[in-house]
C-alpha cells in the first residue's frame, strides 16, 4: 500500500525528472537518434581495473572497454554529472567522445555506432568486453534505444564474457527493455542500484543482475540486505585483481544468473557526492512507477 506521503513524493520526483528532461531537450546536444551519439572502443583496455593482472600461460586476459557519450546518461541517475567519470583523466576522454571530436590527439577517439559494432565483432573470441566504462546504454537520457542497445550487446555474443551496467531503471518501459536485453543478448546488463533498499527493489523486478554501492569505509565483505538478498563486495576491491581475473574466467558482473548483489565501495572522484546521494535515495518503487 502506497501512502499519501509516498504518492506526493513520487509525484514530485517524477516532476523533477521530467523537468530535467524537458530542459535537456532544449539543448541541441541531446541525442534524438543513434546518429547523434559517439562512442569509443579500446580493444585492449589499459584500464588497470579491467585487464587481467594475473598472467595465465604467459598472458594477461584481454578486456576491451567502451565509452558512450554523456548524452546516454539517464537524467534520473542519482549521481548524474557527479559520478567518477566527471573527475580526472576519464573526464578528459569522455568529453571528446561526447563532443564527437577531439581537441587533442591524446584524447579518446570518438567513433560512430556502425564503427563500434564493426570493432566489437572484430575482437578475438578469447577477449572480454565491458561496455560503457562511462556513459550508459545507447539512449536519449529518458528512454534507452532498445534496438541499438541489443545490436551493440549482440555484437559481443562471440566473446568470452561481456557485461555492462545501466541506470535506465527509472521507468517500466526501460525495465522491460533491460529484461529483454538480458534475455536476447549473451552480455549481462546489470541494473545499478543506489543503495541496499534500491537493490532489493530491482532484484524483485527480475530484469537482470543487480549491482549496488556502499560507503567507502564500509568494511563488510558480504552481508544480507534488509530485503533478504546476499551482497558481496567486488573482489577487485579486496585483492589485487582486475575484471579479467575475476571469477576464474567468469567475471561476477558477466554472470546474469547470479543470485547475489555485487556491491562496490564508493571510490574515486565524486565519492563525497555519490555517498550523499546514495544515502538520500528513497522510494525506488514509487520512482519507477511514476
Ligand atoms: S565484480 Fe568482478 S567483474 Fe565486476 S567489477 Fe568487480 S572485478 Fe570486475
Which whole number is the average pLDDT over 110-132?
97
Measuring from atom 6 of ligand 1, which residue has the nearest CA?
A: 234
pLDDT of residue 203: 95
C-alpha 191 to ligand 1 mean position (Å): 14
C-alpha 49 to ligand 1 mean position (Å): 8
Cα-based distances in Å from 224 to 79, 152, 229, 280, 283: 25, 34, 5, 20, 20
pLDDT at residue 20 tops 80: no
Q: Residue 199 is part of which domain span? A: 4-288
- 7: confidence class by pLDDT, cuts 50, 70, 90: low
pLDDT of residue 283: 55
pLDDT at residue 2 tops 70: no
Exposure string over 123-142, b if 16+ CB within 10 A, otherwise e = beeebbbbbbbbbbbbbbbb
pLDDT of residue 287: 54
Closest to 109 in 3D by CA, of 52, 147, 67? 67
Q: State how many domains the chain has.
A: 1
CA 47/CA 60 separation, integer angstroms: 13
Q: What is the pLDDT of residues 154-176, one digit of tens each?
A: 999 999 999 999 999 988 999 99
Instruction: Find all residues with CB under 8 Å of 105, minimum gap 6, and list them.
Output: none
What is the DSSP secondary-structure string of 124-138? Answer: -TT-EEE--SSS-SS
C-alpha 247 to ligand 1 mean position (Å): 8
Instruction: Find all residues with CB under 8 Å of 229, minimum gap 6, and list them.
Output: 199, 200, 203, 260, 261
- In the numeric block, the cell 534505444 is attached to 145
Instruction: Find all residues with CB under 8 Å of 219, minimum gap 6, and list them.
Output: none
C-alpha 15 to ligand 1 mean position (Å): 35
Ligand 1, pocket residues at CB < 6 Å? 234-236, 243, 246, 251-253, 262
pLDDT at residue 290 tops 50: no
Amino acid at each position: 500500500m502506497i501512502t499519501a506521503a509516498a504518492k506526493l513524493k513520487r509525484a514530485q520526483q517524477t516532476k523533477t525528472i521530467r523537468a530535467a528532461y524537458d530542459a535537456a531537450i532544449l539543448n541541441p546536444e541531446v541525442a534524438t537518434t543513434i546518429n547523434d551519439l559517439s562512442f569509443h572502443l579500446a580493444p585492449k583496455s589499459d584500464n588497470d581495473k579491467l585487464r587481467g593482472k594475473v598472467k595465465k600461460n604467459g598472458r594477461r586476459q584481454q578486456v576491451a572497454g567502451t565509452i558512450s557519450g554523456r548524452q546516454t546518461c539517464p537524467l534520473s541517475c542519482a549521481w548524474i554529472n557527479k559520478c567518477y567519470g566527471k573527475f580526472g583523466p576519464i573526464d578528459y576522454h569522455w568529453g571528446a567522445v561526447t563532443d564527437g571530436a577531439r581537441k587533442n590527439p591524446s584524447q579518446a577517439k570518438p567513433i560512430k555506432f556502425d564503427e563500434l559494432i564493426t570493432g566489437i565483432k572484430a575482437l578475438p573470441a578469447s577477449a572480454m568486453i565491458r561496455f560503457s566504462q562511462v556513459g550508459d546504454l545507447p539512449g536519449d537520457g529518458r528512454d534507452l534505444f532498445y534496438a541499438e542497445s541489443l545490436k551493440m550487446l549482440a555484437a559481443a555474443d562471440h566473446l568470452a564474457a561481456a557485461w555492462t551496467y545501466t541506470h535506465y531503471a527509472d521507468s517500466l518501459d526501460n525495465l522491460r527493455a533491460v529484461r529483454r536485453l538480458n534475455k536476447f543478448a549473451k552480455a549481462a546488463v546489470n541494473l545499478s542500484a543506489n543503495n541496499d533498499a534500491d537493490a532489493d527493489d530491482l532484484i524483485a523486478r527480475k530484469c537482470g543482475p543487480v549491482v549496488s554501492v556502499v560507503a567507502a569505509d564500509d568494511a563488510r565483505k558480504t552481508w544480507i540486505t534488509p530485503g533478504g538478498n546476499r551482497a558481496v563486495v567486488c573482489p577487485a576491491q579486496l585483492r589485487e585483481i582486475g575484471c579479467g581475473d575475476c571469477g576464474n574466467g567468469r567475471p561476477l558482473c558477466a554472470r546474469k544468473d547470479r543470485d547475489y548483489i555485487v556491491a562496490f565501495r564508493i571510490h574515486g572522484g565524486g565519492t563525497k557526492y555519490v555517498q550523499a546521494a546514495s544515502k538520500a535515495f528513497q522510494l525506488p518503487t514509487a520512482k519507477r512507477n511514476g
